[in-house]
């Protein structure tokens, strides 16, 4: 018979699984228009722009290779992160006039993924590559972004300043991120947008390098939902399309579950676990954010076996609660029979037992007992003491002088065997015997067998 499971399960919804992708820009007219929502109309003295880039060519001027751009031009307002001119990185803020910083040539490399960031804290503009500061400059400006659209991979005004290469993991902040914050988070996607992240594009959509004509938007995973609109992309080959992205770590939520079951356990991912242990399941939602669930599982399986002697039935499961049933009487409960062992009212009857172990309930098969009568049991001269005991038991057998005594666990395993003493009393000693109920079985010289129960404390 099957155990009844007692189970508390935490389930997460599972959505479309997305790859770690990026966008490839042709350097001609590809662009992502992210709109001009109030959330990206930044101004004042705090900003951070960052992205992963894979440039495939350098524009002749550093201001021509726009990674992130929201620029007015005459009057000069806006913010932008750009690269070009032999590997320079450029960050620019406008407050009626431009305030920009460009690194030396060869700071960036072609045909490799690298993380770039620019920050301003009201006093210093700073540039970072792969989380390492590469240049800084004292600036005092209250910048404003004007009314142009936030644009990825091109100039906000037209298509004449396009970035050639791949862009991934674009982040726009209205706060100044510190060096440690940039370094510690650049290799990990965010599952929940941190405070200050006003626009966030993981760019994980599409199938890398395949036909993606229907996938023309880039979701903003910040709280503001500035959805990006892909413009002029071919969406059919390895260029001007969704492609494989940088090898950063996928975003994840970590949850811990402590659970127990009486039988098989179905994990959140559908995996079946049938033994006690610690298991990891990973699910992914439609935003590409992994849910990692660590389940500490205890399987409380019930041993529903019954061991029989000539006059006793013993439930094999220790440390449980019990109810014996009369199988010849529609499995009615045997009155008062709630212990691990049963001296059957009818020695020729058939009995089963309901076992409840740590909340898991199972019922044994019916067992037929064909042994001594109740009167014969009561008149037996064999006894064991002390009962319960611990390291030693004494078996009294006044009318049996030759034979053997066996000590068995309640599941029938032989623990110890020795010859009977011819004095009518035999001492059996143990070392490190576990507490529980044991069967003491005596066989005389003509092969007659009798059994008793002894409890070890």
Q: How confident is the model at residue 288 (pLDDT cuts 50, 70, 90)?
A: low
Final residue in a domain of this structure, among 323, 343, 368: 368
62 in a domain, yes or no?
A: yes
* Same domain, residue pair 33 and 123: yes
Final residue in a domain of this structure, among 244, 277, 294: 244
How confident is the model over 413-436, as a mean pLDDT? 87
Helix (H, G, I), strand (E, B) or coil at 63: helix
* Same domain, residue pair 355 and 388: no
- In this prediction the pTM is 0.60
Query: 253 or 319, which is more confident?
Result: 319
* Same domain, residue pair 315 and 424: no
* Same domain, residue pair 151 and 198: yes
Q: Alpha helices of 324-447 — where are they, by DSSP H?
A: 374-378
* Same domain, residue pair 181 and 216: yes
272 in a domain, yes or no?
A: no
* Same domain, residue pair 215 and 126: yes
* Same domain, residue pair 115 and 217: yes
**Which residues in 339-365 are b (16+ Cβ under 10 Å) and which e?**
ebbbbbeebebbbbbbbebeebbbbbe
d(CA 301, CA 304): 9
Q: How confident is the model at residue 15 (pLDDT cuts 50, 70, 90)?
A: very low
**Rg, C-alpha atoms of the chain:** 39
249 in a domain, yes or no?
A: no
* Same domain, residue pair 364 and 231: no
* Same domain, residue pair 333 and 420: no
Q: How confident is the model at residue 220 (pLDDT cuts 50, 70, 90)?
A: very high
What pLDDT sits at residue 289? Answer: 66
User: pLDDT by residue (tens digit) across 137-167?
Assistant: 999 999 999 789 999 999 999 999 999 999 9
* Same domain, residue pair 347 and 401: no
Q: Give the CATH number for residue 442.
A: 2.60.40.1930
Final residue in a domain of this structure, among 244, 264, 291: 244
Q: Give the CATH number for residue 202.
A: 2.60.120.200
User: pLDDT by residue (tens digit) across 173-184?
Assistant: 999 999 999 999
Q: How confident is the model at residue 414 (pLDDT cuts 50, 70, 90)?
A: confident
**From the centroid of its chain, how far is CA 413?**
40
286 in a domain, yes or no?
A: no
User: pLDDT by residue (tens digit) across 84-117?
Assistant: 999 999 999 999 999 999 999 999 999 999 999 9
Residue 228 has pLDDT above 80, yes or no: yes
* Same domain, residue pair 146 and 28: yes
Which tokens belong to 162? 């396009």
* Same domain, residue pair 364 and 384: no
The residue segments making up the domain with residue 390 are 380-456
How many structural domains comprise the chain?
3
């Amino acid at each position: 018979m099957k155990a009844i499971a007692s189970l508390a399960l935490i389930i997460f919804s599972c959505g479309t699984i997305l790859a770690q992708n990026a966008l490839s820009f042709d350097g001609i007219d590809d662009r992502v228009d992210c709109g001009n929502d109030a959330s990206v109309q930044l101004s004042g003295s705090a900003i951070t722009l960052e992205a992963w880039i894979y440039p495939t060519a350098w524009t002749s001027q550093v201001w021509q290779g726009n990674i992130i751009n929201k620029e007015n031009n005459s009057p000069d307002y806006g913010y932008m992160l750009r690269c070009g001119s032999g590997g320079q990185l450029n960050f620019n803020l406008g407050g009626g006039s431009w305030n920009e910083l460009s690194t030396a040539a060869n700071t960036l490399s072609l045909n490799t993924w690298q993380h770039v960031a620019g920050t301003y804290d009201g006093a210093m503009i700073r540039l970072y590559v792969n989380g390492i500061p590469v240049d800084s400059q004292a600036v005092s400006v209250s910048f404003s972004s004007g009314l142009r659209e936030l644009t990825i991979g091109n100039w906000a005004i037209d298509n004449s300043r396009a970035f050639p290469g791949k862009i991934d993991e674009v982040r726009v902040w209205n706060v100044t991120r510190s060096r440690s914050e940039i370094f510690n988070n650049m290799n990990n996607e965010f599952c929940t947008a941190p405070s200050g992240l006003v626009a966030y594009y993981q760019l994980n959509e599409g199938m890398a390098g395949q036909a993606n004509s229907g996938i023309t938007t880039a979701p903003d995973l910040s709280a503001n939902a500035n959805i990006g609109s892909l413009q002029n992309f071919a969406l059919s080959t390895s260029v001007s399309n969704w492609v494989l992205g940088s090898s950063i770590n996928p975003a994840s939520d970590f949850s811990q579950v402590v659970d127990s079951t009486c039988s098989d356990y179905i994990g959140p991912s559908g995996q079946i676990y049938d033994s006690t242990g610690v298991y990891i399941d990973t699910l992914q939602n439609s935003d590409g954010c992994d849910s990692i669930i660590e389940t500490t599982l205890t399987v409380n399986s019930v041993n529903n076996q019954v061991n029989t002697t000539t006059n006793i039935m013993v439930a094999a499961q220790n440390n449980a609660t019990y109810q014996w049933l009369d199988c010849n009487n529609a499995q009615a409960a045997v009155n008062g029979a709630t212990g691990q062992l049963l001296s059957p009212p009818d020695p020729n009857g058939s009995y089963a037992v309901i076992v409840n172990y740590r909340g898991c309930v199972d019922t044994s098969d019916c067992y037929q007992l064909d042994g001594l009568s109740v009167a014969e049991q009561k008149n037996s001269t064999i006894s064991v003491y002390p009962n319960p005991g611990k390291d030693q038991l004494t078996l009294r057998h006044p009318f049996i002088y030759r034979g053997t005594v066996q000590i068995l666990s309640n599941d029938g395993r032989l623990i110890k065997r020795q010859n009977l003493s011819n004095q009518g009393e035999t001492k059996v000693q143990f070392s490190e015997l576990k507490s529980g109920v044991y069967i003491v079985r005596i066989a005389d010289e003509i092969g007659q067998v009798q059994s008793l129960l002894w409890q070890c404390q």
